[in-house]
Structure 1
Amino acid sequence: MSESGFARTPLPPYYAVMFTSQRNDQDPQGYAATADRMLELAQQQPGYLGVESVRDASGFGITISYWESQEAIARWRAHGEHRVAQEHGKRDWYEHFEARVAVVERAWGKRQG
């Protein structure tokens, strides 16, 4: 993620994995460290392009990760350490979550500077 919070993605096409989640009221032991580790690990994966992530005070969050291909997404989803984190999320941290994959066909915006 860049300092602005925006991912720096290439020209389309590429893929977006949208992960929306609602944290539960349980003690988030290990959550922040695991989230930091998953970001560090994802950045090392072939085909990773970037990430944008927010979470509000109620625990609702949206993370969008960008990837070169469906194969890169599948490799990341199957990564051993990521699989362990996924199980923790299901069991310990999330009341509800959804994951969606889309092809980014067009992209535009405005950058300062």
Structure 2
Amino acid sequence: MLVSNIDTPYYAVIFSTVLSENIDGYEKTSERMITLAKQQEGFLGIESARNSIGITVSYWSSLEAISKWKNNLEHTEARVLGREKWYAKYQLRICKVERAYSFEK
């Protein structure tokens, strides 16, 4: 589901990943992180897709909200597991969204 109708400006955290061969526990942890992120102050929404690479974009009201999410204990533990076990490679970008447009039939 695409996220829409967020008043600008806001922030987007773009997390691009390539999985390793060992993904035991990955899906369960990923679902838990989405549930947990939705409970964080400043969380605005999330979009995700996976083929040969995965791209997850989460939307936040402020850099402070992103920092608090980064420092959440369960999220920190999941990041450690990701580096040790699930990800062959990842890249994270934080962007400020000044304008956004959408279309729907």
Q: Same fold (TM over 0.5)?
A: yes
**Corresponding residue for residue 25 of structure 1:** 21
**Corresponding residue for residue 54 of structure 2:** 61
Q: Which runs of 5+ in 1 are unaligned?
A: none
Q: Distance in 2 between matches of 1:80 and 1:108?
A: 35
Question: Which of 5, 8, 15 is residue 11 of structure 2 equivalent to?
Answer: 15
Q: Distance in 2 between matches of 1:78 and 1:106?
A: 28
Q: Check conservation: 1:47, 1:72, Cα contact below 8 A.
A: yes
Q: Distance in 2 between matches of 1:75 and 1:35?
A: 18
Q: Which runs of 5+ in 2 are unaligned?
A: none
**Corresponding residue for residue 72 of structure 2:** 79
Aligned residues: 105
Deviation >3 Å, runs of 4+: none
> Over aligned residues, Cα RMSD in angstroms?
0.9
For normalisation by structure 1, the TM-score amounts to 0.90
Percent identity over paired residues: 42
